[in-house]
Amino acid sequence: MLQRTIRRMKVNTAERDLLERELFLVEAGIRGERRLQKKFIEFYSSEPFEILWNTSLTLGNWPVQIDGLLLTSKVAVILESKNISGELHFENKTDEFFRYDANGVKTIMDNPAVQVEKHIRFIRMWFAENKIRLPVDGLLVFTALKAELCSLPKNIRTCRHHHMVELLFKTIEEYPSSPQQNRHVLKKYMKILEKQLTPYTQKPIAVQYSLDPRLFEQGIYCDACQTFNVSRQRRRWQCDACGKTSVNAGEEAVLDYFAIFGFQANNEKLRKFLNVDDRHLVKRLLSQEILTKDGSRRHSKYSMNKTGNLSE
């Protein structure tokens, strides 16, 4: 969604700079999670265990997204990945977290150890409500290749990603064995979790960041010359600036609208956004499987269905 939004934003604006920084952090987080999962391959145990990645659960109106949730016969361990480089410091007296980058610049950040504490509290309550009888612990893993842990949080186990597997085994060994928690029971717990997974729903970018609609370019985007001069020519889309043709530029532009402004639109709003006058052409663009129609004729509204994916 950020990529779709950024490419439509006018250049040299503070808002575009903000979203580009956000995109950098999101992509860094994804790389860190992949590094975490790759390292977890080394967690080889003869004891039964189950692992869930990118777990989204809710308690009432409280949604939580957890990078990894490891279930063993002794304990459940939350895995939280942070791809932050530099000299990393935890100030336990104030619960502050900060880092010095390669240039010696100090940046104060949200304390990831506090986030792990919240996730532990959440999972304990969620387990109690769903009759999962396992204690809960957590592990904060820094995945950046150039991260230096200069101090550690007081209450949360923390390590670099190459220490993760050994610290996991040490953590599990601290908990007593229970003959009641066998492979069959862990499978049962997994089914309970998988049944109640809640897909993460991101707010439209313009809503999330309070962005003025005038910041965005109208028209259909050409990914070759990065302009908005695409029009419909003989059953295909063609850029009037560079001549490149596309089979789905119009459909992609519709998805841009939903990513930026919301999960519901009508034909009139889309015509203005796409800079297209033909209502019948826009109606065909709105017939994608990813969209659901509500109402009829001029009162029709279109929204993203539950399987829609605008994560790019």
The stretches in the chain having pLDDT less than 50 are 307-308, 311-312
Separation of alpha carbons 186 and 69, rounded Å? 12
Which tokens belong to 20? Answer: 């580009």
Give the three-state DSSP class for 49. Answer: strand
Do 1 and 311 form a contact (C-beta atoms < 8 A)? yes
Separation of alpha carbons 7 and 20, rounded Å? 10
* Mutual angle of helices 164-173 and 14-40, in 10-degree steps: 60
Which tokens belong to 306? Answer: 């539950």
Which pLDDT value is given to residue 312? Answer: 46
Angle at CA 272, nearest 5°, toward 274 and 293?
80
Which pLDDT value is given to residue 25? Answer: 87
Which pLDDT value is given to residue 201? Answer: 72
Do 98 and 107 form a contact (C-beta atoms < 8 A)? yes
Separation of alpha carbons 233 and 126, rounded Å? 55
Report phi then psi at 185, rounded to 5: -70, -40
Report phi then psi at 90, rounded to 5: -110, 125
Which pLDDT value is given to residue 180? Answer: 82
Which pLDDT value is given to residue 291? Answer: 62
Identify the residue whose tokens are 């950098």: 24
Which pLDDT value is given to residue 298? Answer: 58
User: Around Cβ 185, how many Cβ atoms within 10 Å?
Assistant: 17
Which pLDDT value is given to residue 289? Answer: 58
**Contacts of residue 109, Cβ cutoff 8 Å, sequence gap at least 6:** 84, 97, 98, 99
* pTM (predicted TM-score): 0.81
Which pLDDT value is given to residue 307? Answer: 43
Which pLDDT value is given to residue 112? Answer: 96
Express the helix, strand and coil content of the chain in percent, nearest 5 each.
Answer: 35, 25, 35
